[in-house]
Structures are given as structure tokens and as C-alpha cells.
Structure 1
Amino acid sequence: MTEIQLTDVSVRDGNQSLWGATGLGTHHMLEIAGLMDRAGFRAIDFTSSSHMAVAVRYFQNDPWERIRRMRAAMPRTPLQFITTGLRFIAWQQADPEFMRLVYRRLQANGIRKVIVLDPMHDADAVLEAARIVKEEGDAEVMGALTFTLSTVHDDKFYADFAAKLAKSPHIDLFYLKDPGGLMSPDRARSLARAVKAVIGIKRLEVHAHCTIGYGPLASLAAIETGCVDTVHVGIGPLGEGSSLPEAERMVANLREAGHEVAIDDKVLAKLSDYWWRLARAEGLPPGTPQPFDASFLRHQIAGGVMTTTRRQLEELKLGYRFDEVVAETQRVREELGAPIMVTPFPQMVMSQALFNVIGTKRYAQVSDQVLRYVLGKFGRPTAPVDPAVEAAILDRPRAREIEAEPTFPSYVDLRRRFGVHMDDEEFLLRAVMPAEQVDAMRSAGRSRGTYTPEAAPLLSLLKQLAAKPAARDIVVERPGLRIALHAGAGLD
């Protein structure tokens, strides 16, 4: 049997899947970084441009500083960044020179592995992004084969796409990415074999979410084929649920199947203990094993989107029409060319289905996002949009307004606007984020680097007390610990 490696997704995809991407700040990560580096992971799925925006918006953390400090704290394990090609935080495709600077700064700060994903599986878009990444540093580039179910997305579709990418010297390896958790064990076997047949000696990894219970079984099935050598996992409370398979259970199952696993079990147990203590201290929900729900294979709607839509219908006194909206979602997705149901497409498709069900006629009301999608502003749809539906969507003044929207400003224009001497990293954030959010981040200064889960409830209480006008000097003291809150001065 082969040696299998693990990629840890806890701080990026696990945090995003289970805690809305807002569960972890820089201090939470730095506290455990040294231990993560000793575990033996193939890589750490660390951040994305969306997560960088969350760092600024919710934590006032500098995301560039976060990468630097984590890289310094874990020099042996590659930090991984996932990108949808030539986009950075904003939904618009950016100027290539702007993205060149993004990829340069990411790699200069410590990113050593870059996943390039195009939700439309546009090979040209992936290859352009991969080329720029390679020209700006020495990170590994992994091509994403993003799984979904449709009449278009069969094994041949993925093999043909992988074959185009495999010819490029800028693509080092691949992974089967199943964000919806829809890949059955049988499909994992056939897909892994089909892709490996065309990529040759380039490595293949598997990343299968657990949303309907398939994740662990699909991962093990892909590994069974001998085509896959790395499986993506979440640790402790950051595994299972809508996240990835839980790490300790996956290791046990791999060894039961006769594989060797390149991981330090004692370190992995300590990591799990830390994340469990943090989850309890911060009141964050752990992932739990999911029962199989075959309806997801039909509608492919993420749980959060379903919950939001159901609530909207209840507020409109139309809760009884929920099943109609689910059925209409399937129809809308087919008409729009079978977009993969990952953000922002599930929200887009189901919102349109809602409009179609409660409106006077189908496509009478269309969101700006659907208009942008049909106009190609998210890229080329994988399959053609139904011609009659396309005509109905675009036959309105708003479509012409959106078509005339300005494109992402050129790098030269943005530099002129923000000043040619502005620090590169500040410039990149200001170009795509509200000024007040970047100002708040810079005012907050360097992120604190220590965190004790057990102290979190007490610190939360003190912050609440500090916000009350009547609160003056507050002191909490016990042997070995003294926390003082002084009016106008903060904690010491």
C-alpha cells in the first residue's frame, strides 16, 4: 500500500464551511502554528482573497502580516492560497498587472502553494493565472477540477480539462475538489482513474466535503485506486458537517486499509484538543457526521442557502411554496448552463428560482448578479445558456446598464489614484476594499499573538463591561493572574 499525506484545511475551508469564515483571527492561528508545523502535513490550506477581506473587515487584522507571521512560525509546511484566477476580493476580473502584484506579494510573504480554480472550467483562464503565479515566484500551482453533477460534467469533461492543463509547465499537480459533497465512492474511483490517465506523473489530491456523508467514503475510494496520494482533512471540530473528513478518523481508516500515513499522531491529538477548547470557549458549533440525504444530489443547494430561502418565504407567508422553489432551482440551473453550485452561484440560482415562483411570470424579475452571469462577467458559462431564457433575461434596460458597467480599473490608473509611492500591500487592499475598513485595520496595529481559550469568556465579559458608560475601574484577580480594566485606558 502507498504512503498517504494529509493537507489540513482547518483554518481556511473548515473555518469557512462551519464558522462562516469569521471564527478565527490571527492570534488564534499563531497560538497553534508551531504545533501545526510539527504534525507532518503536506500543506496547510491557509487563505484566499475572501478570507483576507474577512481578516480586515471583522478582525482588523492585516492579512499580509498574518501570512508573514504564520510562515515564520511554521517554516517547514507550505501555506496554500486558493484563487479564482484573475480576481482579488472584488467580483470583477482584475487587470493582469494588478494580479501580478497580488501573486508577487503573496509569494514574497510566504505562500508556497497556489490553487487556481475557474468555476466555469475555462482552461485559458486557469493557464493565464498559473503563468503569472510562476513568473512572480516559485510556489507550486495546483489545478482545481471542481466537481458537480450535470449532463455536462461527466468523467470525459474533467479528463479533457485536466489534459489541457497538464500540458502546461506552469501546472504542477491537480486535485479533485468536491465543494458540494456530491461525489459518490463509485464516481470518485472512475474520476480519479480518468484524470490520472491524462495527467501522467503529475500528482493528484482529493478534497471531498461531508455535506451529505459522502466525504470520507469518496476520499477513501479515490485513494483505493492508487491514483491519489493526498487527502484533505479538517481537525477535531473543524471536520465533518459541511467541512472535510475529520483528520484522526481519516488516519485510522487509512491505516485500517493498509496505508501508511505521514503524520505525527501525538501532535495531531494536541491540535484537535486545541481546536475543541477554542470552539467551546468561543461558542462555535463543531462539525458533526451528516446523514445521507439523496435530495442534495438532485437540487445541489447548499444548506445555508436553503435556510435563507425558507426564512424569506416564511416572512412572505409563502412557506408552503418551498418545494416549488427547490424544483424551480433545478430547472433554472439547467437553463443557465449548469453552473457549479458554489458561491456565488447557489445564491444566484435559488434567488432566481424564488423570483420565478412568486412573480407574475418566469424571469420577469432578474437580479443584477444573474444579468452579470448571462453577460459573461463571471466568465464563459460551461454550457450555453438556453437561448430563449437568455433573450428573456437580457430584454430589459437594466441589462444594458450592467453591460456598460466600467471594468476593473487598470493598474496604472489605480496607482495614480492611490499614489505611486503607497506601500504595495496597503495599495492592494485599498484598491478593492472600503477605505474605512482599511483605515480601521491600520489603526488597530499589529495583531496580538497570544490566545488562551479558557480566558476567552472572561475577556469577552470585560469587553462588554467596558462598553457600559457606568463601568469605571474593574479588576479580576486570583493567584498568578491579574486583569485590570481602567476607564479610558483599556486592559492591562
Structure 2
Amino acid sequence: MNEIEFIDTTLRDAHQSLWGVKMSTAMAYQIAAVVDRAGYKALDIAAPAHFVFLIRHFRENPWERLRLLCEKIRKTPLSIMMLASSFVTFNPMKGPIFDLMMKRCYANGLRRIQPMDASNNMSDIDETVQYAKNAGLEVVVPLIFSITPVHTDEHFAQKARDAVAMGAHALYLKDPGGLLTPERIRTLVPAIQKNLNGLRLELHSHCTTGLAPLCYLEAVKLGVTTMHTASLPLANGSSQPSVENILKNVRRLGFWDRMDDESLKIIADYFSSAARCEGLPVGAPLEFDLWQYEHQIPGGVISNLSRQLLDIGQAHRFDEVVEESIRVRKDLGYPIMVTPFSQYVVTQATLNVLLGERYKEVIDEVIKLAMGYYGRQAGDVDQDLLDRLESLPKTKEYAHWEVPRPTIKELRGKYGLEVSDDELLLRILCQGENDIKAMHAAGPIKTYYPYPQKPLMALIKNWAVRNKPSYVYIRKGDFSLKLGKHVK
């Protein structure tokens, strides 16, 4: 039987899905050496959106984070996932900026890139792919899955042919909404495999509907040998399947692997303790939800929508907004519900519902999307919507717009003539220098992470920062402690 290999998502996509990116460098650093010896094929460890969050939330330098983790991770290749058709997620930019980014990724320890276009337009990422290959990175191109009348098996087969012709080293089927079913796997995977010309196909799904573990096993039976998984505490829910579960089942099917069970247990125990100490959730299986297949909105966007409607006293209109999102998506030609398109669709749907009239106000991003600003969608934009947009003054501004291709000299003129290449890229990602200055002011990244070893101290720390109760009382045997807040 074939060997089954695993890509670990614990240090990137898994904690993004379950913890909102709240994994500090110290938390990752302390367990990194164990992750390195666990037997993974590669580690999904970085993304530009993570760079920005690290800077703004933790005041940590993401390049320094990579260099620190490379001290502990010596043999397993590190991977970055990024939009390769737009350097800044909500502000498209192409050209030399990607050449510089690929070179600095390699220089800072990354060895693999997963370059994505949100519409699966390979022509829009070809330039970045060539830059990545020239820099020495392995290029693993995603085919982003979606369920619409236009996203057929043949659609994905053609995208696979395009990726192979572009020079990808491997491909992976990326299912951000957890929409794959075992039945669709049985038709889709063979359709893609026939067009790979011998390249490896990986599978990356989320457990949003609870079916991802079953889909992984069906894919294995069909010859897919590389699976994206997370350590058990950071698996399931809106994250990936657990490595423990998939490993147990593929072994049961007779496949073999190089994974080290002892290391996997240490990793799982570590993150279970870290989650408990930090007050963060651990993943749990979700019940099947048929509605997910209708709206296809990612879990993070759904939770943000719910919170925002609650904040403005409109929580009771949640279902209306979700139903309107289905209609808006159809109007726009079925964009895949992945960043940034899912945010655009839901924002416009929210306006349509709250204002009581469809497209009474249209956000700039929807105008740009309909005008092809973000590339061609798989379906056609609704003609009535196009007619509505053509009457808007802003539409004329975007009619002949092209993605900017600034030179590095031009970017330095805007963001800093004397800064290093690494800092220039961070300033561009953050759209300015204020966050970068605050990051520098915070000093070097701390690598000591005590909490998994000292749960009592973590408990005291967590209670001390809460508004309620006014005190906490701890007693064990002859020892007792009463901790209260000091009120000035």
C-alpha cells in the first residue's frame, strides 16, 4: 500500500480557524522542535494576514518569528499560503513586489508556497509562481472548491491543466467551506488526477459540515497520498481533521506512514494545556448542517457577521442577511466564498437587508468585482445588476482600471527609502509605518512560554484580569489563597 503523508496546519490555518490567529510566537516556539520530529511532510506556518495580525495584536515581527522557529525546526519544510494575485488582500497590487516577497520568504526560512487566486484564475498567479520558483520555493497550487452550477468537475479539471502548464510542482484541492462530500470526492478527484501529468495532489478541507474526515478517507482510497491535518486540540470545528483520527483510519485501511505517535501525543497535550490556560477553545466535531451548502459562508465570516449585527441591535436579522448573501453571490457570477469575496458578498447583503432595498447602496468592492477588477468569475454577472452599476459615477472610474505594478523604487519612495527589504514588505502589508513603529517599540520577541507547565499560575493570571468576580479563593489541603482586585 502507498505511504500517506501529512501537512500540519496547527501553527497556521488551524489556530486561525479556531482561535482567531491567537497563537503567539512563544507558544509556537516552545513546541516547535517536537513538531519538527513528528514526521510531517511540511508545516503550514505563515500567511500575509498572519503577518499583519502578529504585528498589530502581539507587536511581534513576523520575519523574526520565522527565523526563531527555524532555530527549532531544522528538517521539515515551512510553508506560506498567500493570495498570489494581490499582495495586499483588499488592495490589489502585482509586479516586482512579489519578486521581492518570494526572495525574502526564502531568505527567512520558508521553502514552500501555496499561491492562491480566489477565482482559480491561473493566469493571474503565473507571474508570482515564476518568481517563487526562481527563489527556490516549492510551488503547491490550490484548486479552491465551491458548489455552484458553474463549478463542475470539468471546471476543476481545466484549472488543473492550467496549473500544470504553468509549472506548479504539486496541486492541492482546497475546501475552505468544508463543502466536499464523499460522493463528490469520488467524481472530482479522478477528474483532477487525469490531468496532473504525474504531479502530487494534496487535500485540504475544513470540518464545518462534519464530513471532512470521511472525504479524506475516500480520497486516500482514490490515490491521494497527502493530507492537511491539525493536532487534535486544534482540529475539527471549523478547522481541519485531526492527524490522530486520519492516521488511525488510514492505518486501518492498510496504508503506511512515517509519523511519530509519541511526538503527536506530546504536541496534543501541549496545546490542550495551552488552550485551557489561555481560555481558548479546543476543537470539537460539528453536526451536519445542510444550510452551509446553500450559503457557503466561511465560519470566521459567519461569526463576525453575528457579532456585528448584535453590536448594532440587529441580531434578529441574521437569517435574512445570510439568505440575501446567497442571492448577492448569484448576482455576482458565483464568486468562490473565500477571502476577500466572502467578506464583500456578506457586506453587500447586510446593506441590502438593513436599508430595505437591494443595491440602494453598493460598496466599492462589489462594483470592482462586477467590473472584473479582481479577475473573471466562473459565472456571468446578472444583467440587471450591471445596468444598476453602470448608472453609478464610481463605475466609470473603474471601467478602465488596471492592477497597479509599482516598482520597488516607487514603493520605497512611499514607504521608506532607508528601511530593509523585510521592513518595506511589512509596511506595505500594514499600509503604513505606525504599526511597525509600535512593533519595534515592543522589543524582541519573547520565546519563553510558561503556562502549559504552570496551570495554577495561568488560572490566577486569567482571573486577575477579569471584571468579575471580585475575588477568587483557591484551597488544596493545608494551602489556601484568596486573590482579590485592588480598587484605587
TM-score higher than 0.5 here?
yes
Distance 1:195 1:254, change over 3 A: same
Match of 1:7 in 2: 7
Structure 1 SS opposite 2:148: coil
1:487 corresponding residue in structure 2 = none
Given the superposition, is the C-alpha separation of residues 83 and 308 from structure 1 closer, same or farther in structure 2, using an over 3 Å criterion? closer
Q: Shift in Å at residue 395 of structure 1?
A: 2.1
| Structure 1 residues 156 and 232, CA gap change in structure 2 (3 angstroms) | same
How much does 1:400 deviate? 4.2
The CA deviation string for residues 168-215 of structure 1, in whole angstroms up to 9 with x for no partner, is 33x100001000000001111221111111112100110111001011
CA deviation vs aligned residue, 1:101-127 (integer Å, no higher than 9, x gap): 111000111111101111111111122
Query: What amino acid maps onto 2:273 in structure 1?
Result: R
The letter of the residue matching 1:287 is G
Counterpart Cα distance in 1 of 2:391 and 2:138: 45
- Partner residue of 2:171? 174
Q: How does 1:340-355 map to 2 (within 5 A)?
A: 340-355=336-351
Alignment of 1:71-90 (within 5 A): 71-90=70-89
Which amino acid letter does the alignment assign opposite residue 250 of structure 1?
I
Q: Judging changes above 3 Å, is the alpha-carbon distance between structure 1 residues 234 and 463 closer, same or farther for their aligned structure 2 residues?
A: closer
1:392-431 residue pairs with structure 2 within 5 A?
Answer: 392-400=388-396, 407=404, 409-431=406-428
Q: Which amino acid aligns with 2:105?
A: L
Q: CA deviation at 1:258?
A: 1.4
Q: Deviations over 1:298-317 (max 9, x none)?
A: 12123443344455556666
Aligned residue identity for 2:337: M
1: distance between equivalents of 2:366 and 2:345?
8
Corresponding residue of 1:438: 436
Match of 2:382 among 370, 383, 386: 386
Q: 2:207 aligns to what?
A: 210
Query: 1:376 is matched with which residue: 343, 355, 372?
Result: 372
Q: Is the 8 A contact 1:236 1:273 kept in 2?
A: no
1:287 and 2:286 correspond: no
2:38 matched to 1:39?
A: yes
| Superposed displacement of residue 129, structure 1 | 1.4
Which secondary structure state, in structure 1, belongs to the residue aligned with residue 281 of structure 2?
coil
- More displaced stretch, 88-97 vs 180-189: 88-97
CA contact (8 A) 1:282 1:457 kept: no
C-alpha change, 1:323 and 1:451, in structure 2 (3 Å) is closer
Q: Measure, in 2, the Cα distance between the counterparts of 1:282 and 1:461.
A: 11
Alpha-carbon displacement from aligned partner over 1:206-248 (angstroms, at most 9, x marks no partner): 011100101101111111101x111111102110000000111
CA shift in 2, pair 1:218/1:391, >3 Å: same
Structure 1 residues 356-389: Cα deviation after superposition (integer angstroms, max 9, x where no partner): 2343432111122212322333222232211221
Distance 1:462 1:165, change over 3 A: closer
1:86–1:96: 8 Å Cα contact kept in structure 2? no
Q: Note the C-alpha offset of 1:61.
A: 1.0
Q: TM-score w.r.t. structure 2 length?
A: 0.89
For the structure 1 residues 186 and 283, does the alpha-carbon distance in structure 2 shift closer, same or farther, using more than 3 Å as the test? same
Q: 2:165, 2:403 → 1: CA distance?
A: 35
The counterpart of 2:143, out of the listed 142, 145, 149, is: 145
RMSD: 2.5
1:126–1:143 contact (8 Å) kept in structure 2 = no
Deviations 1:410-429 (A, max 9, x none): 42212233444421111111
Distance 2:408 2:390 in 1: 31
1:337 counterpart residue number: 333
- Say how many residue pairs are matched: 464
Deviations 1:68-104 (A, max 9, x none): 2212311110001111114334522224111111110
Give the Cα–Cα distance (whole angstroms) in 2 for the partners of residues 320 and 104 of structure 1.
49
CA distance in 2, matches of 1:118, 1:273: 36
Q: Which runs of 5+ in 2 are unaligned?
A: 466-488
Task: Kindly indicate whether the alpha-carbon contact (under 8 Å) linking 1:92 and 1:408 is maintained by their aligned counterparts in 2.
Answer: no
Hey, what does 1:482 align to over in structure 2? none
- The unaligned stretches of length 5 or more in structure 1 are 467-492
Q: 1:181·1:209 contact (CA, 8 Å) conserved in 2? A: yes
Aligned to 1:479: none
Moved more, 292-301 or 349-358: 349-358
Over 3 Å counting, the alpha-carbon distance change for 1:49 and 1:306 in structure 2 is: closer
Conservation of the 8 A alpha-carbon contact between 1:18 and 1:285: yes
Q: Does 1:195 align with 2:203?
A: no
For residues 389-442 of structure 1, give each alpha carbon's deviation from its aligned partner in whole angstroms, at most 9, with x where no partner exists: 122134223444566799464422122334444211111112332322100111
Counterpart contact for 2:87–2:94, Cα < 8 Å: no
Query: Which residue of structure 2 aligns with residue 221 of structure 1?
Result: 218
Q: Contact between 2:415 and 2:433, CA under 8 Å: does it hold in 1?
A: no
Query: Is 2:373–2:402's contact at 8 Å kept on the other side of the alignment?
Result: no
* Contact in 2 for aligned 1:68/1:110 (Cα 8 Å): yes
Distance 1:463 1:413, change over 3 A: farther
Give the counterpart letter for 2:195 in structure 1: V
**Whole-Å Cα distance in 1 between the matches of residues 151 and 402 of structure 2?**
32
Which has the higher mean CA deviation after the structures are superposed, 277-286 or 399-408? 399-408
Equivalent residue letter for 1:156: E
Partner residue, 2:359: 363
1:448-463 to structure 2, matched below 5 A, reads 448-454=446-452, 455=454, 458=457
Counterpart-to-counterpart distance in 2, 1:344 and 1:415: 26
Say whether the 8 Å CA contact 2:116–2:141 is kept in structure 1.
Answer: yes
| Segment of structure 1 superposing worse, 35-44 or 433-442 | 433-442
Q: Residue 151 of structure 1 aligns to a residue in which SS?
A: coil
Instruction: Check whether the contact 1:8–1:234 (CA below 8 A) recurs between aligned residues.
Output: yes
Q: Is the 8 A contact 2:89 2:340 kept in 1?
A: no
Instruction: Deviation per CA, 1:119-176: give whole Å up to 9, x if none.
Output: 11111112221111112x211101101001001111100001111111233x100001
Does the Cα contact within 8 Å between 1:133 and 1:139 map onto a contact in 2?
yes
